[in-house]
Chain A
Amino acid sequence: MSVFIFVVYLVMLVAIGYVTFRKTKSYDDFTLGGRSNNKWISALSTESTDMSSWLLLGLPGMAFTSGYGSIWLLIGLLFGTFFNWAVVAGKLRRITEYYHSITLMEFFENRLGDKSGVLATIAGLVIVVFMTVNSSAEVIGSGKLMTAAFGVSYRSGMYIGIAIALVYTFLGGFLAISWSNLVQGTLMIIALVLVPAAALSRVGGGSGLATSLLSQDKNLLSLFSGVTGFWPIVALITGGLGVGICYPGQPHVITTYMGMKDPKEVKASTVIAMIWVGVTCYGAVIIGMMGRSMFPTIEDPEQTFLLLAKALFSVKMIGFFAAAVMSALLSSLSAYLLTAAASFASGTYRRIAKVTDDRKLVVVQRVAIVVISAIAMLLSLQGGLVYKVALFATAGLGACFAPLVLFSLYSSRVNTKGAIWSMVVGMATVLLWWNLGLSKYVYEAVPGLIASTITLLVVSKLTGGPDKSVKETFLDFVSKDTHRKSLHMGGEARVNQ
């Protein structure tokens, strides 16, 4: 029965892949679902894409160790998500339509008027590397999950995860990811409400939990996890809040905003997304603390969710909870694959092969999805290195892209040279900070973002700012966006093509 539920879930994903394959006719359809997502799909697809298997494995594990000290990370996640919806989502949706851009690469090029292709090539390369490594970390997660839930061999578990993600992403592209994420996001939130609720009633509610945690370690109920000293507290706070400032730079997340059907639905999606994120993140943290209370001697705190589910529910339900973890994993994995493939096709390949027919780019993307899946699978066999790189992926992407995205949306002062150097300097700062071991003082994203922002503004200024036509086109967008007299703007803005 348990395996049956899990198999039904996997078959459903493939079915969604097939149905969306039939609806996917063009480059716009495959890459951005023809901008057809309603508010529910947009909200749940964005958030389940953002939250990888980390939500059900890593976050409870962190709460298991640090208790109430997870508050800083929760603040970072919640307010980072809110900021992204309120400041980036609507504007990015509207401006990418104005600039006739289907991918972030096309947007950067068209918005900044880069005809050299250097900007898109570098940005595409960064995205492909990080998305492939992130994919690989999820493939490893799939192996661990299948072993823990069904006793399947580790390697078979990895093959199953990557194969399912590959099939539906290959078939239906963005639409397949969006539709499947609606279902997967729903599974995730149900699981993250059921397990903490059942656990709370088992330990005698909140007071029972508090008593149990206090008896183990009083620091578990301290907002600073008992950490003392200036720098350790700064590291704890910036490590949590810093995740939030990286949000505008996560390409797989912000791409989902571009697929919204109606930009006016951004506000409703924001409410749905915030409820989803709040409930799931607090659910995951409560699970971690429950795990600490019920199984204080767990060897691997990341297994808390599955252990609790097994202890609290009948064996038949394990398939459901395993499907919830798999949902967290596949919703991100599939988006990593498509974002990497789309960035490669529209950023790098289009330039090198001088592609003029967009239909060819769909073929290129599908081939790229297969190749990237294969590389991710091979990388995941290496294990250790993947986790090291995946650890600073959020900070690296944030430092590379967050200032660029924000200033492209709101400022007419930036130009291509500033953009290129800000990516390079942002990435270099994060790598250097991390390698020098300075992260124990301040989370690497903070210096990365500061360096990247300063570079973007200073280099843009020193190199004479944007060309006149680039600036005029942007100001035309701002003026039309401000008055929004018609829903469909644009026309002359495709600077490059």
Chain B
Amino acid sequence: MSIGTATFFFFLPFFLSLIAAVAFFYSKDEEGGR
């Protein structure tokens, strides 16, 4: 694996976790009612 690819994967979890948090922020409550 090249250093560039390794660096990409190394920082990937950081961005994925932020995307997950933002997606959670905008997610609808499945329960509804508010």
Residues on A close to B: CB < 8 A? Answer: 68, 71, 74-75, 78-79, 81-82, 85-86, 206, 210, 214, 221-223, 264, 267-268, 270-271, 273-275, 277-278, 282, 481-485
Contact A278 B18 (CB under 8 A): yes
> Which one of A74, A274, A482 lies within 8 Å of B21 (CB-CB)?
A274
Contact A223 B6 (CB under 8 A): yes
Nearest B residue to A282 via CB reads B14
Q: List 11 A-B contacts (CB under 8 A).
A: A68-B6, A71-B9, A82-B24, A223-B9, A223-B10, A270-B21, A270-B25, A273-B21, A278-B18, A482-B33, A484-B31
> Which one of A82, A214, A273, A275 lies within 8 Å of B3 (CB-CB)?
A214
Contact B10 A71 (CB under 8 A): yes
User: Could you tell me the distance in whole angstroms from the C-beta of B13 to the nearest C-beta in chain A?
Assistant: 5
* C-alpha gap A214/B9 in the complex (Å): 17
User: Could you tell me the distance in whole angstroms from the C-beta of B32 to the nearest C-beta in chain A?
Assistant: 8
Nearest B residue to A78 via CB reads B17
* C-alpha gap A483/B30 in the complex (Å): 10
A residues near B32, Cβ cutoff 8 Å: 483
User: Could you tell me the distance in whole angstroms from the C-beta of B8 to the nearest C-beta in chain A?
Assistant: 10
Provided the pairs A278-B18, A482-B33 are in contact, do residues A78 and B10 lie with their beta carbons within 8 angstroms?
no
Provided the pairs A268-B25, A481-B31 are in contact, do residues A222 and B20 lie with their beta carbons within 8 angstroms?
no
> Which one of A221, A270, A277, A481 lies within 8 Å of B24 (CB-CB)?
A270
Chain B positions 1 through 31: 1 when the CB is less than 8 Å from some CB of chain A, otherwise 0: 1010011011101101110111011010001
Contact A222 B6 (CB under 8 A): yes
* C-alpha gap A482/B33 in the complex (Å): 8
What's the count of A-B pairs with C-beta under 8 Å?
A: 73
A221-B7, A270-B24, A277-B17 known, 9 other contacts, Cβ within 8 Å? A68-B6, A68-B10, A81-B17, A82-B21, A86-B20, A222-B1, A223-B1, A282-B11, A483-B31
Interface size on B, residues (CB 8 A): 22
> Which one of A68, A78, A273 lies within 8 Å of B14 (CB-CB)?
A78
User: Could you tell me the distance in whole angstroms from the C-beta of A290 to the nearest C-beta in chain B?
Assistant: 15
Contact B1 A485 (CB under 8 A): no
Nearest A residue to B34 via CB reads A484
User: Could you tell me the distance in whole angstroms from the C-beta of A410 to the nearest C-beta in chain B?
Assistant: 13
User: Could you tell me the distance in whole angstroms from the C-beta of B15 to the nearest C-beta in chain A?
Assistant: 8
Contact A71 B13 (CB under 8 A): yes
* C-alpha gap A339/B16 in the complex (Å): 32
B residues near A221, Cβ cutoff 8 Å: 3, 6-7
User: Could you tell me the distance in whole angstroms from the C-beta of B28 to the nearest C-beta in chain A?
Assistant: 11
User: Could you tell me the distance in whole angstroms from the C-beta of B10 to the nearest C-beta in chain A?
Assistant: 5
- Which of B11, B14, B33 has the most chain A CB atoms inside 10 A of its CB? B14
- Which of A271, A481, A485 has the most chain B CB atoms inside 10 A of its CB? A271
A residues near B27, Cβ cutoff 8 Å: 267
B residues near A275, Cβ cutoff 8 Å: 18, 21
Nearest A residue to B13 via CB reads A75
Provided the pairs A74-B13, A271-B21, A274-B21 are in contact, do residues A206 and B7 lie with their beta carbons within 8 angstroms?
yes
* C-alpha gap A278/B21 in the complex (Å): 11
* C-alpha gap A223/B11 in the complex (Å): 11
A residues near B1, Cβ cutoff 8 Å: 222-223
B residues near A271, Cβ cutoff 8 Å: 21-22, 24-25
User: Could you tell me the distance in whole angstroms from the C-beta of B7 to the nearest C-beta in chain A?
Assistant: 7
* C-alpha gap A483/B11 in the complex (Å): 40
Contact B17 A79 (CB under 8 A): yes
A residues near B33, Cβ cutoff 8 Å: 482-485
User: Could you tell me the distance in whole angstroms from the C-beta of B27 to the nearest C-beta in chain A?
Assistant: 8
A residues near B21, Cβ cutoff 8 Å: 82, 85, 270-271, 273-275
User: Could you tell me the distance in whole angstroms from the C-beta of B9 to the nearest C-beta in chain A?
Assistant: 6
B residues near A282, Cβ cutoff 8 Å: 11, 14
User: Could you tell me the distance in whole angstroms from the C-beta of A220 to the nearest C-beta in chain B?
Assistant: 10
User: Could you tell me the distance in whole angstroms from the C-beta of A221 to the nearest C-beta in chain B?
Assistant: 5
Contact B14 A278 (CB under 8 A): yes
> Which one of B14, B18, B24 lies within 8 Å of A86 (CB-CB)?
B24
A residues near B25, Cβ cutoff 8 Å: 267-268, 270-271
Provided the pairs A206-B7, A210-B3 are in contact, do residues A274 and B31 lie with their beta carbons within 8 angstroms?
no
* C-alpha gap A222/B6 in the complex (Å): 7
User: Could you tell me the distance in whole angstroms from the C-beta of A40 to the nearest C-beta in chain B?
Assistant: 15
* C-alpha gap A483/B17 in the complex (Å): 29
- Which of A85, A210, A221, A274 has the most chain B CB atoms inside 10 A of its CB? A274
